[in-house]
A and B are shown apart, each in its own frame.
Chain A
């Protein structure tokens, strides 16, 4: 099973700042990595698929990069609605697996 490790666990930033979130895979997942955003009381929402492709309706301030075992989600300038928990997920190997999440909180 592919283990995805996200860091940091919590990121404390102010609106307007840049957020950089990391996801590291225990083995290569090629570029088959997705990112999700989850707000309290809501379901996860797909942000990025296949490492760098924004899902429909996702603002351009969200971008993804990486391949193999190291991936990054960048939020270029945090908006108030971006404070949430972010998860990565790999689809290269069975079983499909998720990272433990990074909480982006208001500083």
Chain B
């Protein structure tokens, strides 16, 4: 059974940084692309970033480009999201999700974690 467990969320001031982690199990981690998707009451579900199976290519939503960095450690079956220069608009529940292919660019999301809440507030 696929399990994705996020951690690292919390309360952070605007302009500060936070690093999210996702521990994966139940599948061959290094065979699949992985993603971060966030959810807010106001904007709904929003794709944040994706990374291919061997970290060769990565992609970001336009509003996160230059501020967020996705990475993975296949030896540790783990996915990460480094978030810098956080703004109030980054407040959301952040989900780790698995893609069905090795490449990240044209994915749906076949498994999801339970999410980690990031609150940006002064």
| A→B interface (CB under 8 Å) | 32, 34, 36, 42-46, 49-50, 55, 87, 89, 91-92, 94-101
- Nearest chain B residue, comparing its CB with the CB of A99: B44
Closest Cβ of chain A to B59, distance in Å, is: 7
The CA-CA distance from A49 to B109 in the complex, in Å, is: 9
6 chain-A/chain-B pairs, Cβ below 8 angstroms = A44-B95, A89-B45, A91-B106, A91-B108, A94-B105, A99-B44
On chain B, the residues within 8 Å of A94 by CB distance are 59, 105
**Interface of A: prevailing SS:** loop
Contact A32–B46 (Cβ < 8 Å): no
Taking the complex as formed, is B14 at the interface, i.e. its CB lies under 8 A from any CB of chain A?
no
Given A94-B59, A94-B105, A95-B62, decide whether A101 and B44 contact each other with a Cβ distance below 8 A. yes
- Nearest chain B residue, comparing its CB with the CB of A41: B114
On chain B, the residues within 8 Å of A32 by CB distance are 106
Contact B44–A43 (Cβ < 8 Å): no
Contact B108–A34 (Cβ < 8 Å): yes
The CA-CA distance from A101 to B62 in the complex, in Å, is: 22
Taking the complex as formed, is B112 at the interface, i.e. its CB lies under 8 A from any CB of chain A?
yes
On chain B, the residues within 8 Å of A99 by CB distance are 44
Contact B106–A43 (Cβ < 8 Å): no
Taking the complex as formed, is B88 at the interface, i.e. its CB lies under 8 A from any CB of chain A?
no
Contact A43–B108 (Cβ < 8 Å): no
Contact B112–A45 (Cβ < 8 Å): yes
Contact B115–A43 (Cβ < 8 Å): yes
